[in-house]
C-alpha cells in the first residue's frame, strides 16, 4: 500500500460523522500491523504515539476521517426519505448522487438516489428553479415501496445514516476525483508515513502523537486527548480553492488564517522555511469559511503553537478533486516537519 492506495481505501469506506466505527477499526488494525500500539479513545478517535529522541516536548499531528453524510429525518407518505444533513454542505452538492441507507436495526443496507421531489421536468414547472432544501430533497429507494409502512417494513427508521457514493477515480493524468478527499488524503499521508518510519527504523526528534479524529466536520474532532507535554499541534487538512485563493491542486497549501483567526506565525514560518530548504512547492493562503481540528483545540484551551496545511482540494464538500503532485508536496512537508527541530 502507498499513499494513493490508502486514499482509495479510505474514501471507499463509509464514515460520516457519528458512523465511523468501521474506518477507525481499519486504522487500528493497520497501525497495529505496522508494529505500533494504537489506542482508541472513548470519543472514538485513534491515537498512535511514536516515542522520539526528546520525550520532554511533544508534537501532535491530526487528520480527520469523519466525512459529510446525512441521516433519515422522516419517512414520507410515498415511502421516500427526508434527510437531515451531517456536516456543513449544501443540498445541491449531493443532488443526483447515489447513496446507501445503513439500517440500524438489522445492519443491512439499501441503495438509493438523492433527488429533488420535483425532478421530472415533464410534470413540475419549477423543476429547475425550486429551492434545494430539506423540504424538497428526498431519497428515492431502490426497493418496491410506495408507502411509509412498506419502507418501515425494510427496517428503515429515523436516525439511520445515509452515505454518499464516493466515485473514487485516479486518472492517467494524475488527478484524484472523489467525495471525501477532505480529509482522507491527509489521513492516507499519515498512515503512509507511519508505515515508512517503522519500516525504515526512523526515530523522530520528538515524541509525536498521530491522531485520527472522527468529529472534525461538526467542530470538535481533535480538541481533546492532547498530552500536556505537547507544544506544537499540526492539523493536516484540505487546502481551500476558489476566487481570491492562492491554493492549487499541485502544491501544498499552508494556511495563515481561517475563520477562527490567524495560525501561529513562527510555526507557519518554520513550515515555509522547510518548503524552501527541501524545494517543496507551496502556497500561503487564507481560508475564509473554515475551521480545523487545530482551531478546535485552541478554542478548548490548548496552550500550543498551532498550524494548518494540506493538499489543495477543488470543489470542497462536493465531488472533490486534487492531483498527485499536491499529495506528494503535502506528504513531503509533513515528513520534513516531523523530522525537523521545533520552530
Q: Which residues line the annotated binding site?
A: 64, 182, 217, 237, 317
Cell 480529509 belongs to residue: 183
Pick out the residues of the known binding site for Zn(2+): 64, 182, 217, 237, 317
Q: What is the DSSP string of 59-121?
A: EEEEEE--B-EEEEEEE-TTS-EEEEEESS--GGGTTT-EEEEE-TTTS-EEEEEEEETT--T
Please give the grid coordinates belonging to residue 69.
Answer: 453524510
| Cβ neighbours of 32 (radius 10 Å) | 12
Instruction: Identify whether the C-beta of residue 316 lies closer than 8 Å to the C-beta of residue 217.
Output: no
Q: List the catalytic residue out of 216, 232, 314, 331.
A: 216
Q: Pairing between strand 230-236 and 54-64? A: parallel
- Residues in Cβ contact with 324 at an 8 Å cutoff, skipping those fewer than 6 apart: 4, 170, 174, 175, 176
CA–CA dist 225, 247 (Å, integer): 31
Cell 425494510 belongs to residue: 154
Q: If DSSP codes are grouped into helix, strand and coil, which group holds residue 156?
A: coil
Q: Pairing between strand 161-164 and 98-102? A: antiparallel
Instruction: Identify whether the C-beta of residue 311 lies closer than 8 Å to the C-beta of residue 235.
Output: no
Q: Is 200 a catalytic residue?
A: no
Q: Which phi and psi angles does 300 have, rounded to 5°? A: -80, -5
Residues involved in catalysis: 216
Amino acid at each position: 500500500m502507498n499513499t494513493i492506495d490508502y486514499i482509495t481505501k479510505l474514501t471507499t469506506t463509509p464514515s460520516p460523522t457519528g458512523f465511523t466505527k468501521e474506518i477507525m477499526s481499519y486504522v487500528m488494525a493497520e497501525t497495529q500491523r505496522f508494529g505500533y500500539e494504537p489506542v482508541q479513545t472513548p470519543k472514538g478517535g485513534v491515537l498512535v504515539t511514536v516515542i522520539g529522541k526528546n520525550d520532554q516536548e511533544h508534537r501532535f499531528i491530526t487528520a480527520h476521517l469523519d466525512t459529510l453524510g446525512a441521516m433519515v429525518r422522516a419517512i414520507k407518505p410515498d415511502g421516500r426519505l427526508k434527510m437531515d444533513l451531517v456536516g456543513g454542505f449544501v443540498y445541491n452538492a449531493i443532488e443526483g448522487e447515489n447513496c446507501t441507507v445503513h439500517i440500524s436495526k438489522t445492519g443491512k443496507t439499501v441503495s438509493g438516489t438523492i433527488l429533488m421531489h420535483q425532478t421530472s421536468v415533464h410534470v413540475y414547472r419549477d423543476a429547475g428553479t425550486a429551492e434545494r432544501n430539506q423540504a424538497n430533497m428526498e431519497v428515492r429507494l431502490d426497493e418496491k415501496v410506495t408507502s411509509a409502512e412498506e419502507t418501515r417494513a425494510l427496517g428503515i427508521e429515523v436516525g439511520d445514516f445515509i452515505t454518499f457514493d464516493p466515485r473514487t477515480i485516479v486518472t492517467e493524468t494524475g488527478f484524484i476525483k472523489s467525495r471525501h478527499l477532505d480529509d482522507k488524503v491527509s489521513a492516507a499521508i499519515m498512515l503512509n508515513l507511519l508505515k515508512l518510519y517503522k519500516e525504515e527504523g526512523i526515530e523522530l526528534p520528538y515524541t509525536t502523537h498521530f491522531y485520527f479524529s472522527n468529529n472534525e466536520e461538526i467542530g470538535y474532532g481533535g480538541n481533546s486527548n492532547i498530552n500536556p507535554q505537547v507544544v506544537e499541534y499540526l492539523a493536516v487538512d484540505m487546502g481551500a480553492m476558489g476566487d481570491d485563493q492562492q491554493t492549487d491542486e499541485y502544491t501544498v497549501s499552508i494556511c495563515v488564517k481561517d475563520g477562527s483567526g490567524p495560525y501561529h506565525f513562527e510555526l507557519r514560518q518554520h513550515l515555509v522555511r522547510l518548503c524552501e530548504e527541501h524545494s517543496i512547492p507551496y502556497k500561503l493562503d487564507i481560508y475564509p469559511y473554515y475551521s480545523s481540528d487545530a482551531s478546535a483545540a485552541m478554542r478548548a484551551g490548548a496552550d500550543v503553537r498551532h498550524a494548518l496545511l494540506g493538499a489543495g482540494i477543488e470543489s470542497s464538500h462536493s465531488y472533490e478533486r486534487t492531483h498527485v503532485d499536491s499529495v506528494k508536496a503535502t506528504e513531503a512537508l509533513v515528513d520534513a516537519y516531523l523530522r525537523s527541530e521545533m520552530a
